[in-house]
């Protein structure tokens, strides 16, 4: 991660922090907003804290789009099959 390990995070400017954001989101295992390294920075820069929370919400919502949904129950499939049996066949 660039030079974040050696940076004094408390004295970082918002624009410097924003330069790290893509990498933080890519490599971060948890929520950046909960990372203890940024507590003082977020306290001093509430706009950056809000930006991170917004981006975390967007990322969470995007991930949920790819999560598998539950398969319909067997009853649903049985009802569909029964309806198809009951419908008259249409000849082409």
pTM attached to this predicted model: 0.65
d(CA 20, CA 3): 9
- What is the domain partition of the chain in residue ranges? 4-86
- Nearest CA to 44 among 90, 77, 11? 11
Q: Residue 78: what pLDDT?
A: 86
Q: What is the pLDDT along the chain (92 residues), one digit of tens a residue?
A: 456 777 788 889 999 999 988 888 888 766 899 999 899 999 999 999 999 999 999 988 888 887 767 777 888 888 888 888 887 776 76
Q: Residue 84: what pLDDT?
A: 83
Q: Residue 2: what pLDDT?
A: 58
Unique residue bearing structure tokens 């066949």? 89
Q: What is the secondary structure of the chain as a DSSP string?
A: -TTGGGS-GGG--HHHHHHHHHHHHHH-SS-GGG-GGGHHHHHH-HHHHHHHHHHHHHHHHHHHHTSPPPPPPHHHHHHHHHHHHHSPPPP-
């Amino acid at each position: 991660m660039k030079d974040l390990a050696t940076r004094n995070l408390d004295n970082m400017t918002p624009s410097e922090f924003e330069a790290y954001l893509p990498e933080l989101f890519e490599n971060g295992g948890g929520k950046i907003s909960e990372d203890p390294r940024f507590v003082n920075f977020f306290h001093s820069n509430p706009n950056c804290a809000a930006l991170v929370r917004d981006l975390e919400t967007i990322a969470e919502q995007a991930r949920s789009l790819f999560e598998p949904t539950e398969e319909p129950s067997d009853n649903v499939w049985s009802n569909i099959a029964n309806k198809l049996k009951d419908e008259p066949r249409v000849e082409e």
